């Protein structure tokens, strides 16, 4: 059972032409807003409080102070770490493999293919059947999210299920590493940036394959031994020394003080400087009163988004997420997460973290800035067309039960293909997912739907259409940048 990638919808094409217009037209410069304002447009008649809804939903333009500050030298070091395969157990994968700037900081796949796979984005190859020892054992478990704006201070949880999050513990972070998380992190993006190293399928490799994974196996932990060995490996590369010492003057020229927190911090500075929404995007200008900054269709779509279509009840704030968890009935494809549910191939989402059954199938509301660039969509990338995930929201039950597997992008390998749709095709799983859907059915006219889609495309930051400038020419280890 193979599944193929459908061509992008016509929305994609019309989007490209508008974005080129944006790029090519002389920049219309609106009086620069240093302070941000909430949307000052028309009042929404059906708001019983008499306040305008956009204000209520706190959808406002982005300010520089929304983000943690960045240091240039740390960002340069972080860029090297982000692209250098030296940081993976088998030296065959980097952060950029799954979060490539050439693919809008993700990989274009429904579910990621981690270490052992070869090639880039939708051309990534999971190996042969029967699999060789070096081929991936299975797919990753979820869609690799984009990294846009994750350096914003309001992100209080990371991952689709929020398992890396802020809490009230002494160090302020709750993570799968528990007490093994070293002290000294400044924010959540720094913390999450050391976790891909610890995932066997993502960057670590199998226990017998390299000295880092072997140390993890010998010491019975995926955390401290991995981080310790990784720091040793980086220290063994003299090309990194000057960059590290420049980024961290507090080391006073002594490389021995270098540790895993420095690694996470540098990678966070890189992501937070390269992948943040620029100030004054067309949508931000619109929010600040420049009515012509987005098309009339998109402006009508925004009104629907905050009104009749009820999107802003979850997608609100400057990044269009409430940073909370909701069950919206996205079909389950792939291996699932943690061996739970029927056939052990379901993904319980937030319940896996809180152990509260009321959180079953809930996932973090994704931010929507640049959403048109970041497909496939959903925690498992079940939808390869933006149009389809938006339609899904309007009638989630129908979409769940009529899901067509050609809506996803999973490079084929016989044994993996056989497993990919076990959960999807199980009526019990579908029934359970359906029971927990939180969103009401919403009826939109076809022209209203088009306006809503126009608004989705209006959320693209023109500066993010081409991120090639964030890719270095080489990395300190000298390993290839190609996947």
Chain positions contacting ligand HEC, by CB under 6 A: 93, 95, 97-99, 112, 114, 140, 142, 144-145, 147, 150, 158-161, 192-193, 196, 202-203, 267, 309-311, 313-315, 326, 328, 330, 363, 365-366, 368, 371, 374, 377-379, 389-390, 393, 438-439, 452
Given the complex with ligand HEC, which of 47 and 289 has the nearer CB atom? 47
CB of 374 to ligand HEC, least distance (A): 5
CB of 32 to ligand HEC, least distance (A): 30
CB of 289 to ligand HEC, least distance (A): 24
Q: Would you list the DSSP string of 86-129?
A: GGSTTS---HHHHSBGGGTTB-SSSS---BTBBSSGGG-B---S
Tell me, what DSSP letter sits at residue 158? E
Given the complex with ligand HEC, which of 18 and 88 has the nearer CB atom? 88
CB of 2 to ligand HEC, least distance (A): 22
| Residues in CB range of 325: below 8 A, 6 or more apart | 161, 162, 349, 350, 359, 362, 363, 364, 365
CB of 370 to ligand HEC, least distance (A): 9
Given the complex with ligand HEC, which of 97 and 175 has the nearer CB atom? 97
Given the complex with ligand HEC, which of 294 and 452 has the nearer CB atom? 452
Sign of CA dihedral 40, 41, 42, 44: negative
Given the complex with ligand HEC, which of 280 and 312 has the nearer CB atom? 312
Torsion of CA 126, 128, 131, 135, to 10 degrees: -40
Return the CA Rg of the chain: 22
CB of 30 to ligand HEC, least distance (A): 26
| Residues in CB range of 246: below 8 A, 6 or more apart | 73, 77
Q: Which residues pair with 158 in a beta bridge?
A: 164
Given the complex with ligand HEC, which of 92 and 280 has the nearer CB atom? 92
CB of 320 to ligand HEC, least distance (A): 8
Q: Is 252 exposed, middle or buried (0-12, 13-18, 19+ CB in 10 A)?
A: exposed
Q: Would you list the DSSP string of 368-415?
A: -TTGGGS-SBSTT--BSSHHHHHHHHHTHHHHHHT--GGGS-----HH
Pairing between strand 173-174 and 157-158? unpaired
Given the complex with ligand HEC, which of 277 and 365 has the nearer CB atom? 365
Given the complex with ligand HEC, which of 215 and 311 has the nearer CB atom? 311
CB of 237 to ligand HEC, least distance (A): 16
Given the complex with ligand HEC, which of 152 and 293 has the nearer CB atom? 152
Give the whole-angstrom CA distance, residue 284 versus residue 282: 5
CB of 219 to ligand HEC, least distance (A): 21
Helices assigned H by DSSP within 257-338: 260-274, 282-287, 296-306
């Amino acid at each position: 059972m193979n599944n193929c990638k459908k061509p992008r919808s016509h929305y994609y094409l019309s989007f490209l032409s508008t974005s080129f217009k944006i790029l090519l037209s002389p920049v219309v410069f609106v009086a620069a807003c240093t302070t941000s304002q909430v949307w000052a447009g028309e009042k929404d008649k059906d708001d019983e409080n008499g306040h305008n809804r956009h204000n209520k939903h706190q959808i406002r333009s982005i300010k520089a102070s929304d983000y943690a500050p960045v240091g240039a030298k740390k960002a340069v070091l972080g860029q090297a770490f982000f692209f250098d395969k030296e940081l993976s157990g088998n030296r065959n994968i980097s952060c950029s493999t799954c979060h490539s700037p050439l693919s809008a900081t993700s990989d274009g796949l429904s579910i990621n293919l981690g270490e052992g796979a070869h090639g880039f984005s939708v051309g990534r190859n999971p190996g042969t059947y029967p699999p060789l020892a070096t081929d991936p054992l299975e797919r990753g478990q979820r869609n690799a999210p984009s990294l846009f704006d994750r350096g914003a201070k309001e992100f209080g949880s990371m991952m689709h299920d929020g398992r890396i999050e802020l809490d009230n513990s002494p160090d302020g972070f709750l993570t799968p590493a528990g007490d093994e998380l070293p002290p000294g992190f400044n924010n959540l993006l720094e913390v999450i940036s050391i976790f891909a190293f610890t995932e066997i399928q993502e960057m670590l490799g199998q226990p017998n394959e390299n000295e880092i994974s072997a140390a993890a196996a010998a010491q019975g932990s995926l955390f401290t031994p991995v981080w310790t060995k990784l720091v040793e490996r980086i220290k063994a590369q003299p090309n990194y020394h000057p960059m590290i010492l420049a980024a961290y003057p507090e080391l006073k020229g002594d490389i021995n003080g270098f540790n895993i927190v420095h690694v996470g911090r540098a990678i966070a500075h890189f992501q937070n400087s390269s992948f943040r929404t620029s100030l004054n995007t067309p949508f931000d200008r619109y929010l600040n009163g420049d009515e012509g900054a987005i098309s009339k269709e998109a402006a009508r779509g925004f009104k629907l988004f905050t009104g009749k279509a009820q999107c802003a009840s979850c997608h609100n704030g400057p990044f269009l997420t409430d940073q909370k968890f909701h069950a919206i009935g996205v079909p389950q494809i792939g291996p699932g997460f943690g061996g739970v549910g029927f056939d052990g191939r379901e993904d319980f989402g937030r319940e896996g973290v809180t152990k509260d059954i009321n959180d079953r199938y809930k996932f973090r509301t994704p931010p929507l800035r640049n959403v048109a660039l970041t497909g496939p969509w959903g925690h498992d990338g079940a939808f390869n067309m933006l149009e389809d995930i938006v339609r899904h929201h309007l009638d989630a039950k129908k979409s769940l039960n009529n899901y067509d597997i050609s809506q996803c992008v999973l490079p084929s390998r016989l044994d993996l293909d056989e497993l990919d749709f076990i959960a999807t095709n199980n009526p019990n799983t579908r029934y359970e997912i359906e029971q927990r859907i939180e969103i009401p059915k919403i009826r939109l006219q076809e022209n209203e739907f088009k306006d809503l889609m126009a608004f989705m495309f209006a959320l693209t930051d023109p500066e993010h259409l081409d991120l090639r400038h964030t890719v270095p020419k080489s990395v300190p280890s000298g390993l290839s940048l190609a996947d």
